[in-house]
Amino acid sequence: MISPPQCTVVTEVMETWRALWAQRLRWQRGAVENLGSYGLRPSVMRYWAQQLGIGYGVIAIAAYLLLILVFLLAIDEWVWFPFWIGVGALFVLERVVTVWNGGWRAPPRGHAVS
């Protein structure tokens, strides 16, 4: 099945961190429940790989934050790494650009974001 070009997806911009967290948990729970229903079939292997990637990402970010904490507790003097500050700035820029159309404060729920 191919979607027509006029078919678009619009996701509401969550107004609070709590609402965003609840939305993401709903999405994740739905994805895992669907995979549980379908099992290990060739048609859903891509989605299994995505879920494994998300799980790895959660573990990786937790390990990263733990490593930063250990680093901060172990050093006597702060050292700046311009390259990594630049990489971090690129990630922040990407996040800002991808949600720019939502505006500084997105419209209330129930209103379409165009």
State the 10-residue block means of pLDDT for the chain, 114 residues long. Answer: 83 86 92 92 92 93 94 89 94 86 57 46
> Would you state the pLDDT for residue 105?
62
**With helix as H, strand as E and coil as C, how does the chain read?**
CCCCCCCCCCCCCCCCHHHHHHHHHHHHHHHHHHHHHHCCCHHHHHHHHHHHHHHHHHHHHHHHHHHHHHHHHHCCCCCCCHHHHHHHHHHHHHHHHHCHHHCCCCCCCCCCCC
pLDDT tens-place string over residues 72-83? 899 998 888 999
| Confidence (pTM) | 0.56
> Would you state the pLDDT for residue 108?
46
In the chain, domain spans: 17-100
